[in-house]
Structure 1
Amino acid sequence: MFEIVKAGGWVMAPIIGASILALAIILERFWSLRRARIMPGGLLDTVVEELRRGDLAADRIQAIAAGSPLGRILAVGLANRRQPHELIKERIEETGRQVVHELERFLNTLGTIATISPLMGLLGTVFGMIQVFGVITSVGVGNPHILAGGIAKALITTAAGLLVAIPAHIFYRYFRGYVDALTVEMEDQSIQLVDSLRTLSTTTATVRKSRTGT
């Protein structure tokens, strides 16, 4: 393996570095984007039930916000539940954009690796071919070992660049789609929370009006 890397020349160093970085990003994203961490099961139902019971004190809202990205979005709505509903939606949307930005962390880097790895391999190919033609110019085609070395460098760097780029692109597209799916689900649960706040507000106002009328 070391001989193959050595034959590829100095271009192999950034390609290997890109592969290590891509692997680190993929493992980190798999760990950070676990559904149980992003959207704990039953969180919305628990929050709505506590909201109806009036058990949502400030410290409880802070705990919800700290528990998960979805909790952070829901907590904004809860903290502003006495504000007009349009304002609640604006606050939720602002926080949602921040949360999605955090979920997409490192994905641009992974996409960049998928794009530039073949280019680095192509660069190695160019240098390899330059070496081949340099040898041909100097000594002709009578030394096949030197010619083979230049051709090997070209093939090795091209293959290495593709071996890094293909899985990097696959996982980049996978994580993009996964984050998009999580975003849609969090938006849906946010809408349900806003509807619950509106329903609760309407019910409370009706009860108060009824009591005042009697």
Structure 2
Amino acid sequence: MQAGGILMLPIMACSVIALAIVIERFWTLRRTEVVPPGLVAASLERVQQDRLDEQYLSSLRQGSPLGRILAAGLVNRRSSREVMKESIEEVGRQVAHRLERFLNTLGTIAAITPLLGLLGTVVGMIEVFAVITSVGVGSPGELAGGISVALITTAAGLSVAIPTLIFHRYFRGRVDELVLEMEQQAIMLIEVIKGERLEDPEVSGDS
């Protein structure tokens, strides 16, 4: 920190924030929490037994992102297929937005930390030229200080940016995968309720 100069402070702050987001996203985007297995099958069973009530729908909404989407469709199960699908899509967009929470921040950190490192490089080189101007090139110890600032901040910025970018891309892909899976299960719910297909126990129970 001392050798890298003042610009090490924002770089280290970015690294702490990025680490906190990565841990939080790993916990939040667990498949069993986002797309609980057997949820579609349980909902269809209640529909067939005419046991859907507001208490169940409320617990379904609060239980998981997939539950929020299914509850939106179940509330409108007696409406037309189009109305049921539109209600699911509307809630689905909100759920997808929540799953992407903090990912823009993670992407921003991945973008700005190399720039902070580059700024440290520029500051270090300015110090080097200032030393050259005042004492000439005959003092390696004086020159080494500015060069050290330049190299340390650049390395620190890249060390934060590279893993942050990797996790950002990973979580983007994971969100897309989970959204696609929720969309498939919601479509199956619509089609089974509307009598357009038979329930697939393998998909509804094990996904």
Fold agreement, TM-score > 0.5: yes
Q: What is residue 110 of structure 1 aligned with on the other side?
A: 106
Q: Does 1:48 align with 2:49?
A: no
Q: What is residue 19 of structure 2 aligned with on the other side?
A: 23
Q: Does 1:76 align with 2:76?
A: no
What is the alpha-carbon distance in structure 1 between the residues aligned to residue 161 and residue 37 of structure 2? 35
**CA shift for structure 1 position 157:** 0.2
What is the alpha-carbon distance in structure 1 between the residues aligned to residue 91 and residue 190 of structure 2? 14
**CA shift for structure 1 position 197:** 1.5
What is the alpha-carbon distance in structure 2 between the residues aligned to residue 80 and residue 153 of structure 1? 63
What is the alpha-carbon distance in structure 1 between the residues aligned to residue 157 and residue 9 of structure 2? 11
Instruction: List runs of 5+ in structure 1 lacking aligned partners.
Output: 201-214
Percent identity between matched residues is 60
What is the alpha-carbon distance in structure 2 between the residues aligned to residue 97 and residue 152 of structure 1? 49
Q: What is residue 211 of structure 1 aligned with on the other side?
A: none
In terms of fraction of residues, the more helix-rich structure is: 1
Q: What is residue 32 of structure 1 aligned with on the other side?
A: 28
What TM-score do you get using the length of structure 2 for normalisation? 0.93
User: Structure 2 residue aligned with 1:57, among 53, 56, 70?
Assistant: 53
Q: What is residue 119 of structure 1 aligned with on the other side?
A: 115
What TM-score do you get using the length of structure 1 for normalisation? 0.90
Q: Which runs of 4+ in 1 moved over 4 A?
A: none
Aligned partner letter, 1:65: R
Paired residues, what number? 196
Q: Secondary structure at the match of 2:181?
A: helix
Aligned partner letter, 1:152: S
**CA shift for structure 1 position 59:** 1.1
Q: Does 1:6 align with 2:2?
A: yes
Q: Specify the structure having the higher radius of gyration (Cα).
A: 1
Q: Does 1:66 align with 2:69?
A: no
Q: What is residue 131 of structure 1 aligned with on the other side?
A: 127
What is the alpha-carbon distance in structure 2 between the residues aligned to residue 107 and residue 145 of structure 1? 43
Instruction: List runs of 5+ in structure 2 lacking aligned partners.
Output: 197-207
What is the alpha-carbon distance in structure 2 between the residues aligned to residue 56 and residue 74 of structure 1? 12
Give the structure, 1 or 2, with the largest relative contact order (CA under 8 Å, sep 6 or more).
2
